Structure 1
């Protein structure tokens, strides 16, 4: 069977279920990445630019988080959001909100770690020069971030790649409910278990295609930023 043709038929054939899965995948991972960037880029900058008690411990925790198994994160979020958990009152379990939370926790260490590395790679003399010109701490941080912008973009690419392709966490906290919390990765698992390998492979090709297009766009942006240096 031509699985490429199967993937095309799923997309252009107006299959509403498939499009709902694709849209939800992009919404969940996109929102998780935005939240991770809002939190992670400033934190990565803070860790990279400042010395404080316990800094080495924080860095060790970040590095550990970068390799944390997604299914463990899913279990932790499940327990947090369960009825008997401390966040059970939110009623997020088996909803897209729970999936976003799990993916934020997964992406955050990646964004923080790569941002920190990018900031540390900036010549320390630049900070000294900026401060000598009378820049405030905030202005200094922004200037360093701009200099490290390519590395920050790599942090976002790594964060997105880590969450769009994971399955364990979103399946645990989302439940893989059709029309509600089913995303591409969990749909692929379901179709494989059903023996519908043609559909599973077609969905996998769709996932790979989406990932490729988004990463290609980010790489094009990276090239633009390199030329702007």
Structure 2
């Protein structure tokens, strides 16, 4: 109970160490989410609308990548950014940029796969109308992405939740450096091992609150969409 009380005191008092960790976490996760959305949304839409040899294989691969172990992504990015790797000259390893790259790779499939399914469903529904109006490929993609915006918003939020909760990959490529690359998840692991339970619990409370907030927004959005449709 004392640790729990201390955890709340850290949060309410705005402990600088705690706030610094939260700030790094949100900056990395939101940056990765923005990049993943820029890639995942058009990628999913193109796979839904275009027909080409090997498309089925790409769809299967994209769906499989949704369950890709994050530590594998972390290892791959580490090898790319290490001194002996092809991108080692840029000196990105153990920086927030490396963490953003890893998280982006992890959440692209989480955004792209639902996008493909949603856009494909809408395409089957509106194909005749869009074809009759002579809407081109880009116009079709933009129209269907807009029509599927509620489902896509849910997918994007799911991607953010996955990024915010990630620990393995960001620890491998970020190094868990205090004040620089230490995120909420990696800090919880470290502080728990050190016995600093108030800080670990404080960060855990914020993580749980973040997850609840994301799910609340998803539920509210879906409910509002269903009422609008009805």
TM (norm. structure 2) is: 0.92
Q: Aligned residue for 2:23?
A: 23
Q: C-alpha offsets along residues 41-64 of structure 1, whole Å, 9 cap, x if unaligned?
A: 000000011111110111122112
Q: Aligned residue for 2:36?
A: 36
Does the residue aligned with 2:155 lie in a helix, a strand or coil? helix
CA–CA distance in 2 between the matches of 1:164 and 1:44? Answer: 22
Aligned pairs for 1:27-176 within 5 A: 27-122=27-122, 124-176=124-176
CA–CA distance in 1 between the matches of 2:148 and 2:14? Answer: 43
CA–CA distance in 1 between the matches of 2:17 and 2:72? Answer: 29
Q: Please tell me whether the aligned partners of residues 93 and 174 of structure 1 are also in contact (alpha carbons under 8 angstroms).
A: yes
Segments of 5+ residues of structure 2 without an aligned counterpart are: none
Shift of 1:136: 2.0
CA–CA distance in 2 between the matches of 1:63 and 1:216? Answer: 26
Q: Please tell me whether the aligned partners of residues 149 and 225 of structure 1 are also in contact (alpha carbons under 8 angstroms).
A: no
Q: Aligned residue for 1:180?
A: 180
CA–CA distance in 1 between the matches of 2:43 and 2:20? Answer: 34
Q: C-alpha offsets along residues 8-49 of structure 1, whole Å, 9 cap, x if unaligned?
A: 311222311110100111110001001000110000000011
Bigger mean CA offset, 170-179 vs 144-153: 144-153
Aligned pairs for 1:182-197 within 5 A: 182-197=182-197
CA–CA distance in 1 between the matches of 2:74 and 2:93? Answer: 11
Bigger mean CA offset, 183-192 vs 9-18: 9-18
Bigger mean CA offset, 214-223 vs 51-60: 214-223
**Aligned residues, how many?**
229
Q: Aligned residue for 1:14?
A: 14
State the superposition RMSD in angstroms: 1.7
